[in-house]
């Protein structure tokens, strides 16, 4: 029964050993049986916390734009030990974090053109903070993006060919 529970849980997505342990505890499987099943699943490669951590970091950093700090916290919550988490986080270097933060901000800037700069700054820095980015990096990236957007707006404002007039019939 314990083996079947674990195999069903692993069917949809990969799980860490701790996630499976918690499942077996909830289902009131005796500790010795749970330990034997989990050891066997690890032995045959169905439980691999290091591989889970690498896949998790790659997916969440690229898809959600999370910082290393946020990724580390998520891995800890999923039960990945410190060494496996650190090795997975080495896949994301500092430049990747800066680039991801810039992409996140660049996607949001056009939607914030209708608000004042202070409000836009607060919203963008807040968005990056929720994704785990430090305030220093967030402030620099947001200032760069808003300065560039402001310069683009000023450049097109004086030229009717470059503004909205060019789109009208």
Q: Note down pLDDT in tens along the chain; length 169 residues.
A: 888 888 888 888 889 999 999 999 999 989 999 999 999 999 998 999 999 999 999 888 888 899 999 999 999 999 998 899 999 999 888 898 999 999 999 999 999 989 999 999 999 999 999 999 999 999 999 999 999 887 666 555 554 544 544 444 4
Q: Exposed, middle or buried, 143 (CB in 10 Å: 0-12/13-18/19+)?
A: middle
Q: Tell me, what's the pLDDT at 59?
A: 87
Q: Tell me, what's the pLDDT at 79?
A: 92
Runs of H (alpha helix) within 49-134: 49-64, 68-77, 82-89, 94-108, 117-130
Residue 127 structure tokens = 């968005």
Q: What is the dihedral of CA 105, 106, 112, 117, to 10 degrees?
A: 70
Is the CA virtual torsion 126, 131, 135, 140 positive or negative? negative
Q: CB within 8 A of 66, min separation 6: which ones?
A: 60, 74, 131, 132
């Amino acid at each position: 029964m314990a083996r079947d529970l674990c195999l069903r849980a692993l069917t949809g997505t990969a799980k860490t050993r701790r996630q499976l342990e918690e499942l077996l505890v909830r289902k009131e499987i005796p500790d010795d049986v749970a330990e034997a099943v989990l050891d066997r699943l690890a032995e045959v490669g169905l439980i691999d916390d290091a591989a889970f951590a690498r896949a998790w970091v790659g997916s969440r950093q690229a898809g959600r734009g999370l910082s290393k700090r946020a990724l580390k916290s998520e891995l800890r919550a999923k039960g990945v030990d410190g060494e496996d988490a650190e090795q997975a986080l080495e896949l994301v270097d500092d430049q990747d974090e800066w680039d991801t933060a810039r992409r996140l901000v660049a996607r949001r800037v056009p939607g914030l053109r209708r608000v004042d700069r202070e409000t836009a700054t607060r919203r963008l820095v807040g968005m990056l903070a929720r994704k785990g980015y430090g305030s220093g990096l967030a402030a620099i990236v947001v200032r760069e993006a808003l300065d560039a957007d402001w310069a683009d707006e000023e450049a097109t404002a004086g030229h009717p060919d470059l503004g909205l007039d060019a789109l009208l019939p």
